């Protein structure tokens, strides 16, 4: 569905879910430009990223789309999918600028991404995402459910030290004796 320059239909359908694109907006295939991506992440409340991170990340999308405000030509909403194209798909970077929220743009983006996955994935494909509090009702409307306690999302941040060969500091005496209070 997103192989065209812009989606002309005013709505996107995924199963029983229909998302309507409001007048004055246009759904565009692909990730937004790097600068728009960075603004969308920061202004929507996602963790800000650097230009270097964005330049490396955006081409790695399996699929992406964004919504443009026709009056300004600027991206106001976005979402991306990372995946292998077969059975595993991870939805990331779901963001809508605050002044454009509560208009159904997040639903349009999510519906378009799920439509792409549904059209190309093998039967039984797994689609997941990490849901921050404000996005949970949207994701639940599309059929996403919490997976805990059977499985939980886990993550880690790589060190920001530009010299990865720097050894970590030695453990404290409390850590050596097993008296560390944290796991």
Residue 102 domain flag? yes
Residue 2 domain flag? no
The count of structural domains within the chain is 1
Spatial neighbors of 13 by CB under 8 A, at least 6 apart, are: 19, 111, 115
Residue 106 domain flag? yes
Alpha helices in the chain (DSSP H): 34-44, 51-57, 105-120, 136-141, 173-176
Which helix (H) or strand (E) element contains residue 3? none
Residue 128 domain flag? yes
User: Which residues form the domain of 40?
Assistant: 11-141
Are the C-beta atoms of 83 and 34 separated by less than 8 Å? Answer: no
| pLDDT for residue 102 | 95
Residue 180 domain flag? no
pLDDT at 176 over 80: no
Closest residue by Cα to residue 93 from 141, 40, 143: 40
Residue 166 domain flag? no
pTM greater than the 0.85 cutoff: no
pLDDT mean across residues, the chain: 85
Residue 176 domain flag? no
Q: What average pLDDT does range 88-95 have in this prediction?
A: 97
pLDDT at 170 over 50: yes
CATH number at 17 reads: 3.40.630.30
pLDDT at 4 over 50: no
Please give the share of the chain, as a percent, with pLDDT higher than 90. 68
Q: Tell me the C-alpha distance between 65 and 80, whole Å.
A: 7
Residue 78 domain flag? yes
pLDDT tens per residue across span 102-143: 999 999 999 999 999 999 999 999 999 999 888 999 999 999
Q: Tell me the C-alpha distance between 69 and 84, whole Å.
A: 31
Are the C-beta atoms of 2 and 65 separated by less than 8 Å? Answer: yes
């Amino acid at each position: 569905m997103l192989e065209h320059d812009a989606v002309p239909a005013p709505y996107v359908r995924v199963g029983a879910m229909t998302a309507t694109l409001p007048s004055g907006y246009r759904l565009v295939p692909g990730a937004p430009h790097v600068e728009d991506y960075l603004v969308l992440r920061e202004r929507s409340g996602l963790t800000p990223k650097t230009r270097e991170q964005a330049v490396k990340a955006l081409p790695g999308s399996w699929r992406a789309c964004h919504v443009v405000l026709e009056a300004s030509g600027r991206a106001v909403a976005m979402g991306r999918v990372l995946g292998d194209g077969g059975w595993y798909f991870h939805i990331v970077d779901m963001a809508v600028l605050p002044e454009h929220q509560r208009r159904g743009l997040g639903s349009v983006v999510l519906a378009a991404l799920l439509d792409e996955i549904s059209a190309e994935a093998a039967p039984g494909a797994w689609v997941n995402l990490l849901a921050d509090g404000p996005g949970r009702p949207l994701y639940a409307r599309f059929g996403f459910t919490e997976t805990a306690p059977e499985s939980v999302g886990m993550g880690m941040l790589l060190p920001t030290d530009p010299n990865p060969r720097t050894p970590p500091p030695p453990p404290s005496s409390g850590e050596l004796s097993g008296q560390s209070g944290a796991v």
